[in-house]
Amino acid sequence: MATLSTSSLLWIHSPKPIFPKFALFTATRFFTPKKSTSIVMAAPPTTTATEVVPAIIVGGGRVGKALQDMGKGDDLLVKRGEAVPIDFEGPILVCTRNDDLEAVLEATPKSRWNDLVFFQNGMLEPWLQSKGLNDAEQVLAYFAVAKLGEPPIDGKTDTNPEGLTAAYGKWASAIATRLNAGGLSCKVLDKEAFQKQMLEKLIWICAFMLVGARHPGATVGVVEKEYRSEVSSLIAELASAAAAEKGITFEEAMEDRLCAYSRAVAHFPTAVKEFKWRNGWFYSISEKVVVEGKPDPCPLHTAWLKELNVV
């Protein structure tokens, strides 16, 4: 497998500042390129270098069924209310709603927790850490399954034609092999690179859903096309807050990447959902900072949440 760097994968040259109002700030704080971080690229979708590892799949919805279809018929599907067996070796792919994660843990023998692989969107870190799962394995699934049983559509974009789906952890290569078997791309990342991409996706879903909710009926594509200035300002604000909270530096051109993804999934509806797992993380940062007597780092985000009576 080839080894690339985040700078070669994520640096997108732009002839003009991405955020004109924040150009100086972003250039010196959270969009400055850092030294390369190792990324191991999985084999392309047309290559099947190794066999798909049998897995336990928790959740029989669209994603769970799609993952099962990528296997060879020897996976075990665990549905709501069923226990995860202790004697089935291999990864445990968790494809449930975020609010069902507590029940999934209760149904999984503790000796198997280190085999759990979480496919959920949103900020899982606080919950994972509260369960002692600091190094839990995760997948950023940039693919869509329109209906149960239909093949997934890869979320490749014009800025990232190699694909955006990424996996982290000991089962990451096995996950990549499974996704490749289903015609999907998947990068295997180290923890630092994965965290950055996880935060980018969190910023995407929080920014585009919130701006869209302010304009009833707006899809993700409409937000990108007609309300670009609003979503650009919100992306800059959330990225700054995330960078400060985590002590990281994002690669440049985040707005370009997130808007490109929005064009790829332009038909997606918008709504502020799963607040605890999404916008709630940024709102908690605002609350913490304001209590310390400092200015809200996300004033637009806070104001628009209040405007929609979310908080």
* pLDDT one-digit tens code per residue, 194-222: 999 999 999 999 999 999 999 999 999 99
pTM for the whole thing?
0.82
Judgement on whether residues 185 and 70 belong to the same structural domain of the protein: yes
Looking at residue 258, what is its pLDDT?
97
Name the strand (E) or helix (H) holding 254. helix 254-264
CB contact at 8 A, 185 and 156: yes
Judgement on whether residues 152 and 221 belong to the same structural domain of the protein: no
pLDDT tens-digit profile of 88-125? 999 999 999 999 999 999 999 999 999 999 999 999 99
Q: Is the pLDDT score of 46 beyond 90?
A: no
Boundary (domain end) residue, out of 189, 222, 257: 189
Q: Is the pLDDT score of 32 beyond 60?
A: no
Looking at residue 147, what is its pLDDT?
87
Q: Which long-range contacts (CB under 8 A, 24 or more apart) does 266-269 make?
A: 266/219, 266/220, 266/221, 266/222, 266/224, 267/219, 267/220, 267/221, 268/219, 268/220, 268/221, 269/212, 269/219, 269/220
Boundary (domain end) residue, out of 142, 163, 189: 189
Listed residue (8, 28, 9) closest to 17, CA to CA: 28
Q: Is the pLDDT score of 64 beyond 90?
A: yes
Looking at residue 67, what is its pLDDT?
97
Boundary (domain end) residue, out of 189, 215, 243: 189
Give the Cα separation of 56 and 224 in Å (integer).
Answer: 38
The alpha carbon of residue 19 and the mean position of all alpha carbons in its chain are separated, in whole angstroms, by 23
Q: Is the pLDDT score of 232 beyond 90?
A: yes
Domain that holds residue 225: 22-36+202-307
Judgement on whether residues 299 and 219 belong to the same structural domain of the protein: yes
Give the Cα separation of 45 and 165 in Å (integer).
Answer: 12
Domain count, the chain: 2
Query: Mean of the pLDDT values across residues 3-26?
Result: 31
Judgement on whether residues 185 and 232 belong to the same structural domain of the protein: no
CB contact at 8 A, 138 and 169: yes
Judgement on whether residues 106 and 127 belong to the same structural domain of the protein: yes
Q: Is the pLDDT score of 16 beyond 70?
A: no
Position with higher pLDDT, 13 vs 262: 262
Judgement on whether residues 208 and 179 belong to the same structural domain of the protein: no
Position with higher pLDDT, 2 vs 185: 185
* Domain harbouring 245, CATH code: 1.10.1040
Listed residue (81, 41, 35) closest to 177, CA to CA: 41
Domain assignment of residue 256, yes or no: yes
Residue 229 has a CB neighbour count (10 Å cut-off) of: 10
Confidence of residue 311 (pLDDT cuts 50, 70, 90): very high
Looking at residue 278, what is its pLDDT?
98
Domain assignment of residue 230, yes or no: yes
Question: Considering only 35-49, 94-108, 227-241, 273-287, which range has the smallest mean pLDDT?
Answer: 35-49
Q: Is the pLDDT score of 27 beyond 90?
A: no
Confidence of residue 50 (pLDDT cuts 50, 70, 90): confident
